[in-house]
């Protein structure tokens, strides 16, 4: 039985070109970028070239890119780093109910530290309302955080519009672009964001690396203290090979972006068309018109999600419920709970996500296997 | 047709708790050549104020063992089912002044019902657990047998299962004794080989029982009286006491220690008396309801042995069916502290015939 991986939003395979780009930085160019000798300089060049490339790719400048261990650290560094550095200006923060836990739990932590947090509600398409955001802003508000594209349902937030709204407010704007990066066009100059978080392993880069864009002039407290790496914003010897891998992954993702969008929309339609043709009882979750093409979230009301996931895995199809697990069992997703009142909808939601290496034939086969499982267990 | 299927190509879902017994159960089935899948059941949310949850620790142990065995593992959440079917019953029984046995209900409604159904939906031919009991699969049905380790036998908790459930069940460690189970775990270097056995009711764990119960049921303190009506002190709420209990009464003075003899729900009074062998603690029989016969219905009176509590030695009894799934049980010898809400379980030699819930204690 051929196993089919439809969980690229959880993590993705490292692209062979990424792997190849990284390899010399493990054995040949192994120096510490902070060292003053030849070996150190070689490694430093690898990092700086990557920083230069990535900065350009998103319309930022060289010193605005901070390499981190990934999405969660980037989110933590932006939110905590800014909140603690600027709490004298105000202690009110705004975010949304549908953020990734890397953001949500950071805000919950800050609440315990004496900050006040407003969690914006979303509508049935998963989007916040600019009106609500406007109402939530006070003179005490120092930071707004809103994700770019949702990791569970793929809904895309009005990032540009939020940026415009915040032009007349001193609060800084952070966006978690981990899931949107490589799918949506991301140009800092157009977005009006002050922070942007990204992770390599979602776009065929290695795990354990990502970056945070920090707009020039904005100060943050570091989370990690030590050496002077990353302009004192992130101490610790750089993960050089991973940084080089990140650069390569960004290169590939951006050059193939349009093609991939088309491919994934085809894949999405293969699944949806098969479900319709086979008359499965299902609902599409998220925004039906404006979505991240690689994420498809569907509910099969009345069917236990654990049963679907386990059966699909036993039949060689790897998908996800898109939400966190406690002791391995699946709790209703906070994203779907925020979007829908109907509990059976959030309790039966499955996320299919597409990525590099997935073929049309595999998607067709996965659709057939899914139909079989759903029919078998809904009997 | 209930004879056992050949292991090759036969899928067995093992309910794994993260303890040594179910780990060894999975290990033995894998050794025998079954296609084994490990599943962890989460029935209770015990996340504390620090976000720590013993279920997570247990599940991590399941993961370690399954990776050692090279079998897939999953989890399933039955918190709602457990609350509706087991915990509500547990509270209701305490509210009526009885001492329920949630494990019997958990086996009947969760492990061998909701979980069994889940396993079958995964294409399982059998489910297995780490219970110390045996199932004899025969051409014309099944029988539940005591585990060979008499000290650990768990058929008492399995008395409410029916043959339809048991046909789908394997108890791999029912054939061995507990010390050997530990040995096997050590020989196979299973991650749970030296893990401490869990004790007590699963959802209460190591916590204080009184404190736990008080979160869910209002306690009504009242008088402690002797059979003659003499007030000996106050009790904290009838639900906190079990018949025959000595600890926690706080009655001092001369003579033999004091014991709980009875509960008077109407007057909210705890009846106490002196001496372990106080005559009021003894009874000659009982009435049980919700009686379940595992292999075949019994309609005529007969003599067999029975247990009225877990790990008790078998007692000779005569069972008189009363209809409506009720029986009258007459003891060969008077027995002490028979407790309403607990199970009475019947045996014919090594066969567990079934059981019921003790409703009424017959004194004379």
Bridge partners (DSSP) listed for residue A156: A149
Measure in Å the smallest separation between the Cα of A325 and chain B Cα atoms. 10
Cβ contact, residue pair B74, A311, below 8 Å: no
Q: What pLDDT was estimated at residue A324?
A: 60
Residues B36/B71, Cβ–Cβ less than 8 Å = yes
Numbers of helices and strands, H then E, in chain B: 9, 17
For residue range B130-188, what is the model confidence (pLDDT) as tens digits?
Answer: 999 999 998 888 999 999 999 999 999 999 999 999 999 999 999 999 999 999 999 99
Cβ contact, residue pair A306, B72, below 8 Å: no
| Residue B336, domain member (yes or no) | yes
**What is the number of domains present in chain A?**
2
Question: Looking at residue B267, which CATH number applies to its domain?
Answer: 2.30.30.280
> Among A196, A225, A255, where does a domain finish?
A255
Q: Do A251 and A289 reside in the same domain of the chain?
A: no
Q: List, in order, residues 6 or more apart from A42 with CB less than 8 Å away.
A: A29, A31
The answer, yes or no, to whether residue B321 has pLDDT greater than 90, is yes
Given the residues A325, A357, A368, A375, the one annotated as active site: A325
Measure in Å the smallest separation between the Cα of A306 and chain B Cα atoms. 6
| Residue B29, domain member (yes or no) | yes
Cβ contact, residue pair B121, A328, below 8 Å: no
Measure in Å the smallest separation between the Cα of A190 and chain B Cα atoms. 41
Cβ contact, residue pair B74, A327, below 8 Å: no
Question: Looking at residue A128, which CATH number applies to its domain?
Answer: 3.40.640.10
| Residue B210, domain member (yes or no) | no
Q: Do A182 and A289 reside in the same domain of the chain?
A: no
Cβ contact, residue pair A325, B123, below 8 Å: no
Domain extent, residue A303, equals 4-12+256-377
**A1 in contact with B, Cβ within 8 Å:** no
Residues A64/A216, Cβ–Cβ less than 8 Å = yes
Q: Do B149 and B291 reside in the same domain of the chain?
A: no
**A108 in contact with B, Cβ within 8 Å:** no
> Please, which pLDDT band fits residue B2 given cuts at 50, 70 and 90?
low
Q: Do A121 and A57 reside in the same domain of the chain?
A: yes
Q: Do A41 and A135 reside in the same domain of the chain?
A: yes
Residues B44/B69, Cβ–Cβ less than 8 Å = no
Q: A113 φ, ψ to 5°?
A: -90, 10
| Residue B104, domain member (yes or no) | yes
> Among A255, A283, A306, where does a domain finish?
A255
Q: Do A185 and A280 reside in the same domain of the chain?
A: no
Q: Do B154 and B246 reside in the same domain of the chain?
A: no
> Among B228, B258, B276, where does a domain finish?
B276
Cβ contact, residue pair B75, A311, below 8 Å: no
The answer, yes or no, to whether residue B1 has pLDDT greater than 50, is no
Measure in Å the smallest separation between the Cα of B294 and chain A Cα atoms. 28
Structure tokens at A271: 């699944």
- Average pLDDT in chain B: 93
**A313 in contact with B, Cβ within 8 Å:** yes
B130 is in an annotated binding site: yes
**B118 in contact with A, Cβ within 8 Å:** yes
Q: Which residues of B touch A313 (CB under 8 A)?
A: 72, 74
> Among B240, B255, B276, where does a domain finish?
B276
For residue range B195-254, what is the model confidence (pLDDT) as tens digits?
Answer: 998 877 778 877 788 889 999 999 899 999 999 999 999 999 999 999 999 988 888 888
Among B38, B42, B115, the residue to mutate for chain A (most A Cβ within 10 A) = B42
Q: What pLDDT was estimated at residue A365?
A: 98
Q: Do B299 and B349 reside in the same domain of the chain?
A: yes
Q: Which residues of A touch B123 (CB under 8 A)?
A: 311, 314
**B250 in contact with A, Cβ within 8 Å:** no
Q: How far apart are CA A12 and CA A295, in angstroms?
A: 13
**A312 in contact with B, Cβ within 8 Å:** no
Measure in Å the smallest separation between the Cα of A351 and chain B Cα atoms. 18
**What is the number of domains present in chain B?**
3
Q: What pLDDT was estimated at residue A327?
A: 63
Q: Do A367 and A301 reside in the same domain of the chain?
A: yes
Q: Do B121 and B91 reside in the same domain of the chain?
A: yes
Cβ contact, residue pair A328, B47, below 8 Å: no
Q: What is the pLDDT along chain A (379 residues), one digit of tens a residue?
A: 999 999 999 999 999 999 999 999 999 999 999 999 999 999 999 999 999 999 999 999 999 999 999 999 999 999 999 999 999 999 999 999 999 999 999 999 999 999 999 999 999 999 999 999 999 999 999 999 999 999 999 999 999 999 999 999 999 999 999 999 999 999 999 999 999 999 999 999 999 999 999 999 999 999 999 999 999 999 999 999 999 999 999 999 999 999 999 999 999 999 999 999 999 999 999 999 999 999 999 999 999 888 999 999 999 999 998 666 666 667 789 999 999 999 889 889 999 999 999 999 999 999 999 999 999 998 7
Question: Looking at residue A268, which CATH number applies to its domain?
Answer: 3.90.1150.10
Q: Which residues of A touch B55 (CB under 8 A)?
A: 326-327
Q: Do B28 and B155 reside in the same domain of the chain?
A: yes
Candidates B62, B73, B121; nearest CB to A377: B121
Cβ contact, residue pair A313, B72, below 8 Å: yes
Q: Do B40 and B85 reside in the same domain of the chain?
A: yes
Candidates B37, B47, B75; nearest CB to A329: B75
Q: Do A227 and A357 reside in the same domain of the chain?
A: no
Q: What pLDDT was estimated at residue B252?
A: 81
Cβ contact, residue pair A327, B37, below 8 Å: no
Q: Do B349 and B262 reside in the same domain of the chain?
A: no
Q: Do B168 and B43 reside in the same domain of the chain?
A: yes
| Residue B351, domain member (yes or no) | yes
Cβ contact, residue pair A326, B47, below 8 Å: yes
Q: What pLDDT was estimated at residue A210?
A: 98
Cβ contact, residue pair A327, B56, below 8 Å: yes
For residue range B35-68, what is the model confidence (pLDDT) as tens digits?
Answer: 999 999 999 887 777 777 788 889 999 999 999 9
Q: Do A261 and A213 reside in the same domain of the chain?
A: no
**Which residue on chain A is closest to B118 by alpha carbon?**
A307
Q: Do A227 and A114 reside in the same domain of the chain?
A: yes
**B213 in contact with A, Cβ within 8 Å:** no
Q: Which residues of A touch B72 (CB under 8 A)?
A: 313-314
Q: Do B307 and B166 reside in the same domain of the chain?
A: no
Measure in Å the smallest separation between the Cα of A163 and chain B Cα atoms. 36
Q: Do A218 and A79 reside in the same domain of the chain?
A: yes
**Which residue on chain B is closest to A306 by alpha carbon?**
B76
Q: Do A251 and A339 reside in the same domain of the chain?
A: no
Size of interface A-B (CB pairs under 8 A): 57
As a three-state string, the secondary structure of chain A is: CCCEECECCCCCCCCHHHHHHHCHHHHCCCCCCCCCCHHHHHHHHHHHHHHHHHHHHCCCCHHHEEEECCHHHHHHHHHHHHHHHCHHHCCEEEEECCCCHHHHHHHHHHHHCCCEEEEECCCCCCCCCHHHHHHHCCCCEEEEECCCECCCCCEECCHHHHHHHHHHCCCEEEEECCCCECCECCCHHHHCCCEEEEEHHHHCCCCCCEEEEECCCCCCCCCCCCCCHHHHCCCCCCCHHHHHHHHHHHHHHHHCHHHHHHHHHHHHHHHHHHHHHCCCCCEEECCCCCECCCEEEEECCCCCHHHHHHHHHHCCEECECCCCEECCEECCCHHHHHHCCCHHHHCCEEEEECCCCCCHHHHHHHHHHHHHHHHHHCC
Question: Looking at residue B350, which CATH number applies to its domain?
Answer: 2.40.30.10
Q: Do A244 and A260 reside in the same domain of the chain?
A: no
| Residue B297, domain member (yes or no) | yes
**A63 in contact with B, Cβ within 8 Å:** no
Q: Do B105 and B233 reside in the same domain of the chain?
A: no
Q: A3 φ, ψ to 5°?
A: -85, 135
Cβ contact, residue pair B40, A328, below 8 Å: yes
Q: Do B44 and B133 reside in the same domain of the chain?
A: yes
Measure in Å the smallest separation between the Cα of B323 and chain A Cα atoms. 36
Q: Do B117 and B99 reside in the same domain of the chain?
A: yes
**B176 in contact with A, Cβ within 8 Å:** no
Domain extent, residue B246, equals 219-276
> Among A206, A229, A255, where does a domain finish?
A255
For chain A, positions 328-357, list CB contacts with chain B under 8 A: 328-331
**B111 in contact with A, Cβ within 8 Å:** no
B285 is in an annotated binding site: no
Instruction: Return the biggest CA–CA distance within chain B.
Output: 69
Question: Looking at residue B131, which CATH number applies to its domain?
Answer: 3.40.50.620
Q: What is the pTM of this model?
A: 0.91
| Residue B269, domain member (yes or no) | yes
Upper half-sphere CA count for residue B102 (Cβ side, 13 Å): 20
**B53 in contact with A, Cβ within 8 Å:** yes
| Residue B1, domain member (yes or no) | no
Q: Which residues of B touch A307 (CB under 8 A)?
A: 76, 118, 121-122
């Amino acid at each position: 039985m051929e196993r089919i991986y439809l969980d690229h939003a959880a993590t993705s395979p490292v692209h062979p070109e990424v792997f190849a780009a990284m390899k010399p930085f493990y054995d040949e160019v192994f120096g510490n970028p902070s060292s003053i000798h030849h070996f150190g300089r070689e490694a430093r060049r690898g990092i700086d070239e990557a920083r230069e490339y990535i900065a350009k790719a998103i319309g930022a400048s060289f010193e605005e890119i901070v390499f981190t261990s990934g999405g969660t650290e980037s989110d933590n560094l932006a939110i905590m780093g800014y909140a603690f550095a600027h709490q004298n200006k105000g202690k009110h923060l705004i975010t949304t109910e549908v953020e990734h836990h890397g953001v949500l739990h950071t805000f919950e932590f800050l609440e315990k530290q004496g900050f006040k947090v407003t969690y914006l509600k979303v509508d049935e398409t998963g989007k916040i309302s600019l009106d609500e955001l406007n109402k939530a802003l006070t003179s005490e508000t120092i930071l707004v955080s809103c994700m770019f594209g949702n990791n569970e349902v793929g809904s895309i937030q009005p990032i540009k519009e939020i940026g415009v709204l915040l032009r007349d407010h001193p609060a800084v704007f952070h966006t978690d672009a981990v899931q949107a990066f490589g799918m949506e066009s991301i140009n800092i100059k157009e977005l009006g964001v002050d922070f942007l978080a990204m992770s390599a392993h979602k776009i065929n880069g290695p795990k354990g690396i990502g970056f945070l864009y920090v707009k020039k002039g904005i100060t943050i407290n570091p989370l990690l203290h030590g050496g002077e790496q990353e302009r004192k914003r992130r101490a610790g010897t750089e993960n050089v090979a991973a940084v080089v891998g990140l650069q390569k992954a960004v290169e590939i993702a951006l050059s193939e972006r349009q093609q991939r969008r088309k491919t994934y929309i085809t894949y999405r339609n293969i699944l949806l068309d098969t479900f319709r043709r086979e008359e499965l009882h299902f609902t599409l979750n998220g925004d039906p018109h404006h979505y991240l093409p690689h994420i498809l979230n569907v509910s099969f009301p009345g069917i236990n999600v654990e049963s679907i996931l386990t059966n699909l895995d036993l039949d060689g199809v790897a998908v996800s419920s898109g939400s966190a697990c406690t002791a391995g069992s699946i709790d209703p997703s906070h994203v779907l709970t925020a979007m829908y009142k109907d509990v059976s909808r959030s309790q039966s939601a499955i996320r299919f996500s597409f990525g590099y290496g997935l073929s049309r034939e595999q998607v067709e086969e996965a659709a057939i296997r899914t139909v079989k499982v759903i029919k078998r267990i809904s009997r | 047709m209930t004879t056992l299927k050949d292991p090759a190509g036969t899928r067995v879902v093992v309910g794994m708790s993260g303890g040594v017994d179910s780990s060894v159960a999975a290990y033995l089935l894998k050794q025998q050549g079954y296609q084994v899948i490990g599943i962890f059941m989460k029935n209770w949310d015990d996340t504390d104020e620090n976000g720590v949850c013993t279920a997570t620790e247990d599940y991590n142990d399941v993961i370690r063992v399954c990776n050692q065995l090279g079998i897939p593992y999953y989890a399933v959440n039955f918190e709602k089912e457990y609350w509706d079917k087991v915990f509500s019953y547990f509270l209701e029984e305490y509210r009526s002044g009885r001492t329920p046995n949630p494990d019997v209900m958990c086996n009947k409604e969760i492990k061998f019902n909701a979980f069994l159904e889940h396993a079958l939906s995964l294409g399982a031919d059998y489910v297995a657990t780490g219970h110390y009991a045996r199932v004899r699969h025969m051409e014309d049905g099944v029988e539940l047998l005591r585990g060979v380790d008499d000290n650990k036998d768990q058929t008492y908790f399995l008395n409410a299962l029916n043959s339809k459930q048991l046909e789908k069940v394997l108890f791999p460690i029912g054939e061995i004794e507990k010390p050997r189970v530990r040995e096997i775990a050590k020989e196979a270097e299973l991650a749970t080989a030296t893990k401490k056995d869990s004790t007590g009711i699963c959802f209460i764990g190591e916590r204080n029982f009184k404190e736990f119960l008080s979160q869910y049921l209002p306690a009504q303190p009242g008088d402690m009286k002797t059979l003659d009506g003499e007030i000996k002190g106050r009790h904290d709420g009838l639900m906190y006491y079990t018949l025959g209990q000595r600890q926690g009464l706080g009655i001092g003075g001369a003579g033999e220690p004091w014991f709980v003899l009875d509960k008077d729900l109407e007057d909210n009074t705890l009846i106490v008396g002196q001496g372990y062998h106080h005559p009021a603690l003894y009874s000659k029989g009982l009435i049980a309801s919700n009686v379940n016969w595992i292999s075949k219905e019994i309609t005529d009176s007969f003599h067999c042995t029975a247990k009225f509590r877990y790990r008790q030695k078998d007692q000779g009894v005569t069972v008189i069916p009363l209809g409506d799934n009720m029986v009258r049980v007459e003891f060969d010898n008077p027995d002490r502290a028979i407790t309403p809400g607990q199970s009475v379980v019947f045996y014919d030699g090594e066969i567990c015939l079934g059981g019921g819930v003790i409703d009424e204690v017959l004194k004379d």
